[in-house]
Amino acid sequence: GDSVTQMEGPVTLSEEAFLTINCTYTATGYPSLFWYVQYPGEGLQLLLKATKADDKGSNKGFEATYRKETTSFHLEKGSVQVSDSAVYFCALTEPTGNQFYFGTGTSLTVIP
């Protein structure tokens, strides 16, 4: 079945450091891929998405590229800020599927 695997956290970085959170997936078809972010005490918010191979999703300085050959959708940001401290979830949904599959989440803490 479909699944999403994220790198385990927690991740702690200094402000302005480079961020990569790895995400790989298993899917039977051609899924759409998402990154969601959960700030402390809040629900999830969509951060970015990509719906087909080689698409790049971007938002708030974050980027992720849909790599079909490596079944990956790694999240990157060139210079993190304290306000980026949150839990990040990779997710997928099949075009004809009936549910979202989420990774277990990666906690990021950015220190000044």
Partner 1 sequence: KAGVTQTPRYLIKTRGQQVTLSCSPISGHRSVSWYQQTPGQGLQFLFEYFSETQRNKGNFPGRFSGRQFSNSRSEMNVSTLELGDSALYLCASSRGGMTTNEKLFFGSGTQLSVL
Q: Running DSSP on this structure, what letter comes out for residue 91?
A: E
* β-pair partners for 72: 24, 67
Helix (H) or strand (E) holding 12: strand 11-14
Indicate the residue among 70 and 98 with the shorter CB distance to partner 1: 98
Smallest gap from residue 27 Cβ to partner 1 (A): 13
Binding stretches for partner 1 (CB under 8 A): 32, 34, 36, 41-46, 49, 51, 89, 93, 95-105
Tokens of 6: 């994220």
Indicate the residue among 86 and 93 with the shorter CB distance to partner 1: 93
Smallest gap from residue 43 Cβ to partner 1 (A): 4
Indicate the residue among 7 and 17 with the shorter CB distance to partner 1: 7
Handedness of CA 75, 8, 109, 36 (dihedral sign): positive
